[in-house]
Amino acid sequence: MDRVRWRLLSWGTAFILWVRRRFTPAGWLVLSLLGVSALVGFDTYKNLAYQIFTFSLALLLLAVPFEFFFRPRLFVRRTLPRFGTAGQPLPYALEVETTGQAVPAMTLTEVLPAALPGFEEFRSAAGGYWFDRWTGITRWLRLVEGSRGASAAPMALPDLPAKTTADVEGRLVPGGRGRIVLPGLEAWRPDPLGLFNARAFLSAPQSVLVLPRRYPVPRVELSGKRRYQQGGVSLSSSVGESQEFVSLRDYRPGDPPRKLHWKSLAKTGKLIVKEYQDEYFVRHALILDTFGAPPPEVFEEAVSAAASFACSVLTQESLLDLLFVGAEAYCFTAGRGQGGP
């Protein structure tokens, strides 16, 4: 029975989304007239509602075929930031170029991953009162709202002459952490009657990495004792506090510019850093336990809390080990000299 409910709700949601995107407000009015007149005007001998039905149907039959003639020749290119944050607006620039004839004004929207829950997710979700357990509607709406990966505002594109370029500002609001895949954009334009939105797909595959939501937390003063770390210099920045010179080595991201060996740079053309005696560090650890099966929203809040504390710890004079423990254990070290490309 749950599979039947899930399939009906999936089909119904997909159909409602299709109708909402395809028909304009005037198109919704014509659809409403079509449905009402079909119910009331079934008996053509008692009323004239069938005439409204015929007229509404004729308008829709004239508007829908406009889809097959809408083929804008556009090339789009996004300029996305390197990272985004869950729940925070992510502005970006969009460059639109006409590759053929002039194009009329239209609306551009991002193609976002589908947010419909799967069957196992729907079945395992807890039901509420008896109506929800029988129909599953409230449970379904809650899952759809929670699984929404991102939302994007529509972008208005003005009339463009042939062989021209226009810059449009876009905005994306990530719903959660992870990688958002953007396969392309959709161009929308209503038909001459203003009832039906024709659609054209514009390929522009890109992706953006979304970091967990972070909360303001007080700076934590962690106690600890400076100890010698195995590997010492090579583990951190290989540039210690001691003034005893050891050797030269290649530059690593995070090394201070004051330790550059300028003579070697002049000879080799590469960044070379002076290496000193091993140094001692205070080392802390932040552990995120992924064992067990908490509700998804609880786990995401735990990830956000861990990220908030990781960002608040000063790592200039200490090392912070990020430990992720689940089926396997992963350790990533943050601190001076641990920066990556």
Q: Could you tell me which residues are beta bridge partners of residue 122? A: none
Q: How far apart are CA 126 and CA 106, in angstroms?
A: 43
- Asked if 4 and 10 touch (Cβ cutoff 8 Å), the reply is no
Long-range residue pairs from 252-260, CB within 8 A, at least 24 positions apart, any chain: 252/337, 252/339, 253/339, 253/340, 253/341, 254/336, 254/337, 254/338, 254/339, 255/337
- Asked if 175 and 297 touch (Cβ cutoff 8 Å), the reply is no
pLDDT score recorded for residue 313: 66
pLDDT score recorded for residue 302: 83
Residue recorded with tokens 């789009």:
76
Q: Which domains are delineated in the chain?
A: 1-68 (no CATH), 70-113+149-211 (2.60.40.10), 227-335 (no CATH)
Q: What is the pLDDT along the chain (341 residues), one digit of tens a residue?
A: 567 777 787 788 788 888 888 899 999 999 888 888 888 776 667 777 778 888 899 999 999 998 888 888 889 999 999 888 888 899 999 999 988 788 888 999 998 876 677 666 666 666 566 566 666 677 666 676 666 678 888 999 998 898 888 899 999 988 888 888 889 999 999 999 989 999 999 999 999 999 888 888 777 666 555 444 444 444 444 434 445 567 788 888 878 787 888 888 888 888 888 876 655 566 777 777 776 666 777 888 888 888 887 777 655 556 777 777 767 777 777 765 554 43
pLDDT score recorded for residue 49: 79
Sheet order of strands, 329-335 included: 227-228, 280-289, 318-325, 329-335
Q: Which of 102, 72, 103, 114 is nearest to 162 (CA)?
A: 102
pLDDT score recorded for residue 145: 66
- Asked if 223 and 50 touch (Cβ cutoff 8 Å), the reply is no
